[in-house]
Structure 1
Amino acid sequence: MNAFLTELGKNLATRWAAALALPAAVFVAVVVVAVMLGPSHALDVDLLWTRVRTVSTGPALAWAAAAFLAATAVVGLSVTALGGIVIAAWAATGAGVGRPFVGLRHRRWRRATVRADAAVKAVLVDRSDLGAKSNAQRALLRRNAISEIEPTCPTWAGDRLRSVDDRVRRGTGLDLTTTWPRLWLVLPDAARTEVTTVQERCGSAARMPVWGLAYLAVGVYWWPALVPAVWALLVSRRRIRRAVGVYADLVEASIDLYARDVANQLGFELTGRMTPAIGEQLTEVLRKQPG
């Protein structure tokens, strides 16, 4: 999972300008409007127009434009850094600050698992019962919405990425953190482009709660900013789940399709599927450890 999060961090650091120029400019504009109008004249368009005209001519305009561009750059860099913190939180463990969140998620998962197991047993008792099958499917979906595996991370995103690592290790014997950098070198251009695109979506999704909190801070002073704040905070959870889910699926698909190419490059000369025994040998080779 650390390899995935490192790649996401790189995208946050190198692509912020294109991704954040417009939203950062909009945020700075909202802050400027909030300062100009204040809470007592929150929607006074005439007052806003009057105050804008005072800086729209002469040297004041040049200084205002320079300040606006500088503030936009600062906001963009700040949101990039905070988005990186959000991504780092996905890899947090159940120790320290994350322990209460892991405990809460684990209790919810255990209750959902008990209900799912009971629903599946009901299907095994009578396989012709369509109602029981439907109940079992819903119960499994509710459990997986919490986590596909037993939770050990404070966030759904962390456990979703960890579940890929777990399935790859059980299915192929490969350690994903060790294998991923080598796999990246053998991926065709089309696959790399697809992975990079989804990484950018993950970075954008990680920034959504940051924007929400930023607008919320402005909204404390100027209430109209609460509208984008609430929208961003409500949308962020769904966007993170969607982006991370697609990223996890794409990484697992890359292993399924191209792990054999890594093995062949290292002299294993596979003609069939990657088995756990071969995957464990390959992992030892990649770790530079003696067999």
Structure 2
Amino acid sequence: MNAFLTELGKNLAGRWAAALALPAAVFVAVAVVAVMLGPSHALDVTLLWVRASTVSTGPALVWAAAGFLAATALVGLAMTALGGVVIAAWGATGTGPGRPFTALRQRRWQRAGAKADTAVKAVLADQENRRAKVTARRAVLRRDAISELEPNCPTWAGDRLRAVADRVRRGTGLDLTTTWPRLWLVLPDAARAEVTTVQERCASAARTPVWGLAYLVVGVYWWPALVPGLWLLLVSRRRIRRSVGVYADLVEASVDLHGRDVANQLGFELTGRLTPEIGAQVTEVLQKRPTALRTP
């Protein structure tokens, strides 16, 4: 999981100019309008026009434009850093500051899991009961919506990526964190481009709640900014789940289709599928652990 979180962090830092120029400019414009109007004249368009006219000509316009561009750049850099913090939080474990959130998610998952187990047992007891099957399916979906595995991270995104690593390890024997950098080198250009595109979506989704909080801060002084702030916070959860879910599926698909290429590059020369036994050997080679530390 750390490997593809690192890739997301690199992507977030390397492409901020194109991705953040417009939203940063809009945010700075909203902040400027908030300062010009203040809370007592929040929607006074006439007053805004009058005050904006005072800097629309001469040297004042040049200084205003320079200040606007500088502020836009600073906001973009700040959002890059804060978006990276959000991505880092996805990979946090259930220790330290994230422990209460992880414990809460574990309790929710266990309750949902108990209901799912009860519903599945009801189906096994009566195979012809269609209503019981529907109930069981919904109960399983509710549990998996919290996490596919018992939660070990304070966020859904972290556990979603952890579930991919677990499936890859069980299905192929590969350690995904160790294998991913090598797999990236053997992926075709089309596959790399697709992964990079989804990484950009994940980075953008990670910034969404940060933008929402930033607008709420402005909204404390100028209430119209509360509207985009609340909207961004509401859509951030769905955006993060959708983008991280697609990214996790794409990572798993990359292993399924090209994991054997990594083994072949290491000299295993496979002619069939990559089995867990061979995958475990590939992982041992990649990890380069001393003999004394190898698992029997």
Structure 2 counterparts to residues 1-291 of structure 1, below 5 A: 1-289=1-289, 290=291
Q: Tell me the TM-score normalised to structure 1 length.
A: 0.99
Q: 1 CA distance for matches of 2:283 and 2:128?
A: 45
Q: 1 CA distance for matches of 2:119 and 2:5?
A: 36
Q: 2 CA distance for matches of 1:228 and 1:264?
A: 51
CA deviation after TM superposition for structure 1 residue 144, in Å: 0.5
CA deviation after TM superposition for structure 1 residue 130, in Å: 1.0
Q: 1 CA distance for matches of 2:97 and 2:179?
A: 31
Deviations 1:106-155 (A, max 9, x none): 00000000000111111111112111111011001100110000001000
Q: 2 CA distance for matches of 1:7 and 1:98?
A: 22
Deviations 1:170-200 (A, max 9, x none): 1111000100000001100110011000000
Deviations 1:8-37 (A, max 9, x none): 000100000000000000000000000000
CA deviation after TM superposition for structure 1 residue 49, in Å: 0.2
Q: 2 CA distance for matches of 1:11 and 1:164?
A: 21
CA deviation after TM superposition for structure 1 residue 211, in Å: 0.1
Q: Tell me the TM-score normalised to structure 2 length.
A: 0.97
Deviations 1:204-241 (A, max 9, x none): 00000000000000000000000000000000000000
CA deviation after TM superposition for structure 1 residue 272, in Å: 1.0
Q: 1 CA distance for matches of 2:182 and 2:15?
A: 23
Identity among equivalent positions (%) equals 80
Q: 2 CA distance for matches of 1:236 and 1:33?
A: 25
Q: 1 CA distance for matches of 2:275 and 2:124?
A: 31
Letter in 2 for 1:121: K
Q: 2 CA distance for matches of 1:52 and 1:87?
A: 39
Letter in 2 for 1:286: L
Of the structure 1 ranges 88-97 and 76-85, higher mean CA displacement relative to structure 2 is found in 88-97
Q: 2 CA distance for matches of 1:249 and 1:130?
A: 31
Secondary structure at the aligned position of 1:56 is classed as coil
Q: 2 CA distance for matches of 1:274 and 1:252?
A: 14
Q: 1 CA distance for matches of 2:99 and 2:81?
A: 24
Q: 1 CA distance for matches of 2:78 and 2:185?
A: 32
Residues paired across the two proteins, number = 291
CA deviation after TM superposition for structure 1 residue 287, in Å: 1.2
Q: 2 CA distance for matches of 1:113 and 1:272?
A: 37
Unaligned runs of 5+ in 2: none
